Amino acid sequence: MTDKILKKEEIEKFYLDLSRYFNFFAPTKENGNIVFKKITDPCEIIFDFLNSKVPPKEIVFPRMETLFTYKINGKEIEIEPVNNLNEKYLIFGIRPCDAYSFNLLENFFASGKFQDDIFIEKRKNTILIGMGCNTPRQTCFCTSLDHGGHPHRMDDVDIFLTDLGDKYLMRSISKMGKAIIDKLAWLSDAQRKDVAKAVELSKKAEELIKTKVDLENIAETLKPHFDHPLWKEISENCLGCGTCAFLCPTCTCFDVIDENDHYNNRGKRIRLWDTCQFCIYTTHASGHNPRKSKIERCRNRILHKFSYYPKNYGMLGCVGCGRCIQSCPVNNDLRVIIHKIKNLEKEKIEVKIIAT
Amino acid sequence: MQLSAYIPCLTTIKSIISENEANDIKTFELVFRKEEDQENFDYNPGQFAEISVIGKGECPIGIASSPTEKGSIKFTIKKMGTVTTAMHMAEVGDAIGVRGPLGNGWPIEELKGKNIIVIGGGFAFSTLRSLVEFIIHDDNRADYKEIIVIYGNRNCSEILYQEDLMRWKKREDVDVALTIDCAEKGWDGRVGFVAPIVESVDPSPKNSIAIMCGPPIMIKTTEAVLEKLHFQPGQILESLENRMKCGIGKCGRCNIGDKFVCVDGPVFSKAELNKMPREY
């Protein structure tokens, strides 16, 4: 199938055609931040953006989500499962790193002895319309990741867009993506020069990512250094605020609480994003805490992404979006941390040379 | 569509037994409201369940009853936080949510043909009670060899399941050694911490498995004794606790390295634990 062209002035038409079937999410601007929001007016869409502050993960795994509702009537209790799982979602303009993170989330929620049926249903009902990054951020390092991370990676979306200035080159990637494009019969065919320009933009974008993080065998490198004093150094200035985790597209931890509507004898059990950076996250009822200081908590975050997740799923638990670097209030930089860890290996080799 | 992972089954409290003088440990006997839920709750000793007081929250509790005790399930709960306190305020007839069974449980198949040394301390005896009740049941007793139960407490008013212990003591095929930390008037059992009592009982490691549950200090000292008695790390089983929310390996917090206590445990052998970071 040939690529299509979506002119920017046709976005309204595009939105009107698709919002009939989907909750249409797109990048919008709110208080100066880019945020993926369900839009009701295509004018809200921001075309010129780098990436959202909070990853679009929150559409399928919101920061607060109902697990079930209940009614209490004396000794009688009635439990109602959630009933909004048939809703269809479309995420317009999702960046390749965030689209790839959906795979990581799915690996985790859909595997093991128990599956998270709420996430799985939502993910199943979500269409991703990805958009290549022509101007990656300084903190981006997707090309350092072993999955073939690239500012124009297309593999994880249904439809891929390349911003050609006044129009988008539109390519269907999945069967679902093809079905959608087929329905939009008014789309014009792309010219050979459009495709060539897209290829050029993709190459240019790759060159713009100057940061190269050496992640080769990172899991192996981490293994013998669990008790290394480096973790103390890394965690020294950490505030334990959890920003890195809350803005991470691959973090999945949550808390569960009951939220009551006392006046109406009902309530709901909800889950809320949580993070291993908080002290109370692991504190036992007895007061004992297996990860009692920042040292253990910072180490857990790094090891989860670069050792535990790879061990369980055969891939790194990071997508290289750089949000944790950008938003850390004390400028802790994941790239520097990795670099320090990698240097431990070199140190060892140097010691060996001296010893012989 | 069935959305089951987070939804508890409703049960009714059939009986409540106060287990100690302080009245902060109670055993709750629960009966499923739906018969199919009862049938689906097919568990092994050593597994746990998420107990819900609807409107207060949920917390993981080891199953104290044995699968051989049909018709109801039991949980022994110490009053500690929000949910357990709400549980302690509950009355017979109240509705309680149960989600489970969860976790791996004691490896009852692998234990067949072995001598079993059950070592418990304090109120961490619930899943050990489940195991002993299971093994001594007429249907199962022939599958297992010698059984030694060593159970320690601070004082005799803290000893759980006193009736069950008396019943086990009367049997010729179970050795029961009860101990309290300091001597008390009228106490005819042993006196001293669990570790030295294990040493004096001196179980043979030959074809044996030691199964332990108790406070960290008891585990640590008893591990040393078992090692002295030539038990290999693979012959020592322990049940861990970590803070949990979901119990199904999704909420994240109970991880020890790349393992989750809720789905990969709570039962681990000392050999497995030796390979894991000490984050428990």
Residue-wise DSSP of B78-95: E--SHHHHHHHH--TT-E
CA distance A303 to chain B (A): 8
Question: Does the structure show a pLDDT above 60 at B137?
Answer: yes
- CA dist B160 → A110, B20, B129, B163, B270 (Å): 40, 7, 9, 9, 26
Same domain, A228 and A198: no
How much is the pTM?
A: 0.92
Same domain, A173 and A269: no
Q: Which of B3, B251, B263 sits opposite A81 (nearest CB)?
A: B3
Could you list the mean pLDDT of each consecutive 10-residue stretch along chain A, which spans 356 residues?
89 95 96 95 92 95 96 91 90 97 95 92 95 94 92 96 95 95 94 95 94 91 92 93 96 96 94 96 92 95 96 94 95 93 74 52
Nearest to B135 by CA among B101, B106, B104: B106
Please name the residue of chain A whose CA is at the shortest distance from the CA of residue B253.
Answer: A282
Question: In chain B, pLDDT over 70 holds for what percent of residues?
Answer: 99
* Helix, strand counts (H, E) of chain A: 13, 12
Same domain, A192 and A244: no
Contact A265, A71 (CB under 8 A): yes
Q: Which of A109, A113, A283 sits opposite B243 (nearest CB)?
A: A283
SS3 per residue for B43-73: CCCCCEEEEEECCCEEEEEEECCCCCCCCCE
Contact B30, B98 (CB under 8 A): yes
Same domain, A138 and A244: no
Q: What distance in Å separates the CA atoms of residue A125 and residue A29, rounded to the nearest whole number?
A: 25
CA distance A115 to chain B (A): 7
Residue B158, SS3 per DSSP: helix
Q: Is B57 on the interface with A (CB under 8 A)?
A: yes
Please state the φ and ψ torsions of residue A267, each to the nearest 5 degrees. 180, -175
Counted domains in chain A = 2
Residue A185 token pair: 């019969």
Contact A118, A85 (CB under 8 A): yes
Residue ending a domain, among A167, A189, A208, is A208
pLDDT on residue A136: 93
Contact B240, B266 (CB under 8 A): yes
Q: Is A290 on the interface with B (CB under 8 A)?
A: yes
Q: What distance in Å separates the CA atoms of residue B80 and residue B57, rounded to the nearest whole number?
A: 13
For B73-113, write each residue's pLDDT tens digit.
999 999 999 999 999 999 999 999 999 999 999 999 999 99
Residues in A 247-286 with any Cβ partner in B closer than 8 A: 252-258, 260, 267, 269, 271, 274, 276, 281-286
**pLDDT confidence tier of residue B261, bands split at 50, 70 and 90:** very high
Q: Is A21 on the interface with B (CB under 8 A)?
A: no
Straight-line distance from the first to the last Cα atom of chain B, in angstroms, rounded to the nearest whole number = 37
pLDDT on residue B180: 95
Same domain, A180 and A153: yes
CATH superfamily of B9-101: Translation factors (2.40.30.10)
Beta sheet of A76-81, edge-to-edge order: A76-81, A64-73, A266-273, A254-261
Tell me the chain A residues in contact with residue B95 when contact means C-beta distances shorter than 8 Å.
Answer: 75-77
Same domain, A53 and A80: yes
Q: What distance in Å separates the CA atoms of residue A57 and residue A47, rounded to the nearest whole number?
A: 20
Q: Where are the alpha helices (DSSP H) in chain B?
A: 35-40, 82-89, 126-136, 162-170, 194-201, 216-228, 261-264, 270-274
Whether residue A151 is contained in a domain is answered as: yes
Whether residue A146 is contained in a domain is answered as: yes
Centroid of chain to Cα B234? 20
Q: What single letter denotes the amino acid at residue B127?
A: T
pLDDT on residue B5: 87
Nearest to A105 by CA among A154, A65, A64, A56: A56
Same domain, A67 and A192: yes
Q: What single letter denotes the amino acid at residue B235?
A: Q
Q: What's the angle, vertex CA A59, arms to CA B5 and CA A322, rounded to 5?
A: 110
* Residue range of the domain that includes A54: 3-208
Same domain, A30 and A90: yes
Eight-class DSSP state of B173? T
Beta sheet of B95-102, edge-to-edge order: B57-62, B48-53, B95-102, B9-18, B25-32, B73-78
Q: Is B263 on the interface with A (CB under 8 A)?
A: yes
**Residues for chain B: how many in total?**
280
Q: Which of A85, A121, A282 sits opposite B243 (nearest CB)?
A: A282
Q: Where are the alpha helices (DSSP H) in chain A?
A: 11-18, 57-60, 96-109, 117-124, 175-183, 192-208, 218-222, 230-235, 243-246, 294-303, 309-313, 323-327, 334-355
Tell me the chain B residues in contact with residue A257 when contact means C-beta distances shorter than 8 Å.
Answer: 57
DSSP lists the bridge partners of residue B28 as: B16, B75
Tell me the chain A residues in contact with residue B10 when contact means C-beta distances shorter than 8 Å.
Answer: 77, 79
Residue A91, SS3 per DSSP: strand
Count the Cβ atoms, other than its own, within 10 Å of residue A9.
9
Whether residue A82 is contained in a domain is answered as: yes
CA distance B140 to chain A (A): 28
Residue tagged 């009614």 (tokens): A71
Q: Is B22 on the interface with A (CB under 8 A)?
A: no
Residue A272, SS3 per DSSP: strand
CA distance A114 to chain B (A): 6
The answer to whether the Cβ–Cβ distance between A254 and B245 falls below 8 Å is yes
Nearest to A151 by CA among A139, A172, A135: A135
Q: What distance in Å separates the CA atoms of residue A81 and residue A78, rounded to the nearest whole number?
A: 10
Nearest to A168 by CA among A238, A101, A220, A92: A92
Instruction: Tell me what the pLDDT averaged over chain B comes to.
Output: 94
Residue tagged 């195991």 (tokens): B131
For B212-237, write each residue's pLDDT tens digit.
999 889 999 999 999 999 999 999 99
CA distance A240 to chain B (A): 16
Q: What single letter denotes the amino acid at residue B205?
A: P
Q: What distance in Å separates the CA atoms of residue A43 and residue A28, rounded to the nearest whole number?
A: 9
Same domain, A100 and A228: no
pLDDT on residue A1: 61
- Yes or no: is domain B115-239 CATH 3.40.50.80? yes
| Residue ranges covered by each domain of chain B | 9-101, 115-239
The answer to whether the Cβ–Cβ distance between A258 and B8 falls below 8 Å is no
Same domain, A42 and A137: yes
Question: Does the structure show a pLDDT above 80 at B155?
Answer: yes
Positive/negative CA dihedral, A258, A262, A267, A271: negative
Tell me the chain A residues in contact with residue B6 when contact means C-beta distances shorter than 8 Å.
Answer: 67-68, 118, 256, 269
**Percent helix / strand / coil, chain A, rounded to 5:** 40, 20, 40
Residue ending a domain, among A177, A208, A239, is A208
Burial letters for A62-79: b for 16+ Cβ neighbours within 10 Å, e otherwise?
A: eeebbbbbbebeeeebeb
Q: B interface mutation test: which of A111, A116, A271 has the most B CBs within 10 A? A: A116
Nearest to A339 by CA among A245, A254, A221, A223: A221
Whether residue A213 is contained in a domain is answered as: no
Same domain, A293 and A318: yes
pLDDT on residue A344: 83
Question: Does the structure show a pLDDT above 50 at B1?
Answer: no
Strands B147-153 and B175-180: parallel
Residue ending a domain, among A165, A186, A208, is A208
